[in-house]
Structure 1
Amino acid sequence: MAKWDNMLSMLWMLRSGRKLTAAQIADDLEISVRTVYRYIDALCASGVPVVAESGHDGGIRILDSFKEAPLFFNAVELKALVDAFKFAQGAGYPYTEELEGALKKVENGLHEEQRCDLSSQTSGVDVISPVRPPSGILLLRDLEQAAKEGRTVCIAYRKENAGQAGERKVDPYGLAYDRNEWYVVAFCHQSQAMRTFRVDRIARLEPTEARFEKPERFSASAFFRDQSKREREADGPLTVIRIAGEPDTLNAVCRHWHLRHYLTERTDREARFLLDVPTMNKYLPVYLMTFGTAIHIREPLELKRQIQETACKIAKHYDDDPD
């Protein structure tokens, strides 16, 4: 067990209120008596009132006035905290300043040795992310606050490839981070249905006086999964799709915004999906062609034939090109 874990275990033992001898603590933690006394010194330096009483009824105990336990983190736990902050910062998390402040409070409560561990363990990971405008953070905060208060907001939203933003009123239910983008899941008053809106396409947001009640236990991530199922072309027969390729190429296939929900099995050299036939016929031939010869469709035969036919049509199109 790591030093800091042992110290924390020792602290909990002493907080039971019983007097313990150094030998009892050493046996329980499987460390030496000498190490026990080193830990006592470290606890005292941290402000823990540890008392060692000699004599027949003596032992080691903590004064009853002690209420707070110091924070002990091992090197991996400290690394995880700092790395989590880096990922949150890279994702454009709207409360990175507050998260950084909380992390500094943790650092201030560390021992010198722990600070050294923190510096050495966290220098090897960086998160590279797209530059996000400051307005995006404000939008995320406003949307989260509106969701918390149950307040309808008016947004100016620019659809993909649209020249101008259109105004609409929405009831924001929650935020989700997916495929390197932030989305708000909201009830749209214009379409009278649940919709997802990319936050970076919101040009303006204004709160209104109108209120709404969010469904109990609403989950933005669950909505995304359910939406993907609803977007299937039809409730037609399901078919197994087997795609072979190099690991990196299969990673790209499996990350597709729609296909990833239908992944059933994955090895280093093959990915299997279970998808309805109408959706497969409409979307997959053209999409999978973009991978060229880097992948191989093992089944179904129908999908292989469709890709062959599409490739032949493209080849013929350019064969017939007079230029």
Structure 2
Amino acid sequence: MAKWDNMLSILWMLRSGRKLTAAQIADSLEISVRTVYRYIDALCASGVPVVAESGHDGGIRILESFQETPLFFNSIELKALVDAFKFAEGAGYPYTEELESALAKVENGLHEEQRQDLSRQASGLDVISPARPPSVVPLLRDLEQAEKDGRTVRIVYRKANAEQEDERVIDPYGLAYDRNEWYAVAFCHRSQAVRTFRVDRIVRLAQTEARFEKPERFSASAYFRDRSEREREADGPLTVIRIEGEQGALNAVCGHWHLRHYLTERTDREARFLLDVPTMNKYLPMYLMTFGTAIRIREPLELKRRIREMANGIAKQYEDDSD
């Protein structure tokens, strides 16, 4: 059993209220008496009021005033907590301040050697976050609260490249973080369907008096997956798409909001997808053309032929251009 597990076991044994001898604890945990005393010293250093009484009725006990059980983390667990905070902060997580406060409480319970070790362990990772409007955090909080309360909200929304703002009444079902952006998945009263709204495009939000009931077991992530499935043109036949290219270009192709659901294999130089032929023919030639020579289609031949025809058509359009 690991050191921290043994320390917690000793703590739970002592919190029963009984006095225990070091020998009794050692027999129960199958460790030496000397190790027991070492763990007791560590508990005392962590702020646990352990008292050792000598004599016929003596033993080891915890003062009755002790109420809370301290948490014990090894160095990698502490590093993971700090790194998780960095990722949450980079994602624009709406409760970053509360998370930072909780982490500070954990760090305050460490002794100086642990703090120094944590500083060394966690100094090698940084998360570079995209720029976001300052309004995103309060919007995320308001949307989450509306989802929890079952409260319909009215939003003013601006689509990408739209000249005018648009007002919608929505029932927020959940939030999702996808491709460095936050999305509200909500039932839109105007379209009478579930839709996604990029939170950074919400200009204003106001609560209404209306209430709603979220569908049982609704999942925002499942909705994103289902939406991708609905984008398919047909159920079949399926074909293997094999794309070779530079790592950066492949990362972009594999991270495409639709294609990533059909990725079956990925190496440093190649990616394979399994997709139905009608969807492939409709969407992929134009999209893959945008990568130029950074990628190369290995199969299927039909996709290679369509891209070649498209490229030839573009070249022909400009071959007689005298400018």
TM-score (structure 1 length as normaliser):
0.89
Whole-angstrom distance in 2 between the partners of 1:46 and 1:91: 33
Determine the C-alpha separation between the residues in 2 that align with 1:284 and 1:62: 70
The question of whether the paired residues in 2 share the 8 Å contact of 1:82 and 1:103 is answered with yes
Please list, as runs of the form range in 1=range in 2, the aligned pairs for 1:185-204 lying within 5 A after superposition: 185-204=185-204
* Residue of structure 1 in register with 2:260 after alignment: 260
Match of 2:126 in 1: 126
Which position in structure 2 is the counterpart of 1:176? 176
SS of the residue 1:297 aligns to: strand
**C-alpha distance in 1, partners of 2:60/2:307?**
76
CA–CA separation in structure 2 for the residues paired with 1:168 and 1:291: 36
Note if 1:42 corresponds to 2:66.
Answer: no
The aligned counterpart of 2:283 is 283
Q: Using the alignment, how far apart are the partners of 1:22 and 1:244 within structure 2?
A: 65
Which residue type is aligned with residue 23 of structure 2?
Answer: T
2:23 corresponding residue in structure 1: 21
Shift of 1:162: 0.5
Native 8 Å contact 2:171 2:186 kept in 1: yes
Matched with 1:223 is: 223
Distance of aligned partners of 1:27 and 1:170 in 2 relative to their CA distance in 1, 3 Å threshold: closer
Q: Which amino acid aligns with 2:150?
A: G
2:30 maps to amino acid: D
2:184 partner SS: strand
Mapped partners of 2:114, 2:270: distance in 1? 44
Show CA shifts across 1:254-306 (max 9, x none). Answer: 11111001112223332221111111111111211222333222221100111
Specify the alignment match of 1:159 in structure 2.
Answer: 159
Answering whether residue 93 of structure 2 is matched by residue 90 of structure 1, we say no
SS in 1 for 2:154: strand
CA distances 1:207-253 after superposition (whole Å, capped 9, x unpaired):
11111100011110110011110111233422111222344432222
| 8 Å CA contact 2:158, 2:165 repeated in 1 | yes
Deviations 1:45-100 (CA, angstroms, capped at 9, x unpaired): 33324344667997x64337355321111111111111111111111111111111
Number of matched pairs: 320
Closer/same/farther in 2, CA of residues 4 and 117 from structure 1, 3 Å limit? farther
CA contact (8 A) 2:22 2:33 kept: no
> Structure 1 133/248 Cα, relative in aligned 2: closer, same or farther at 3 Å?
closer
- Structure 1 CA distance, aligned partners of 2:23 and 2:233? 71
Aligned mates of 1:268, 1:22 — CA distance in 2:
57
List gaps (5 residues or longer) in structure 1: none
Structure 2 counterpart SS, 1:21: helix
Q: Which amino acid aligns with 1:196?
A: T
> Conserved in 2, the CA contact under 8 Å of 1:26 and 1:36?
no
Percent of residue pairs identical: 78
With the length of structure 2 as denominator, give the TM-score of the two structures: 0.89
Unmatched 5+ stretches in structure 2: none
Secondary structure of 2:235's partner? Answer: coil
CA distance in 2, matches of 1:125, 1:10: 35
Equivalent-residue separation in structure 2 for 1:197 and 1:63 (angstroms): 54
The answer for the alignment partner of 1:114 in structure 2 is 114
1:243-254 mapped onto 2 (5 Å cutoff) = 243-254=243-254
Corresponding residue of 1:102: 102
CA drift of 1:201 comes to 0.8
> Equivalent residue for 2:62?
63
* Secondary structure of the corresponding residue to residue 282 of structure 1: helix
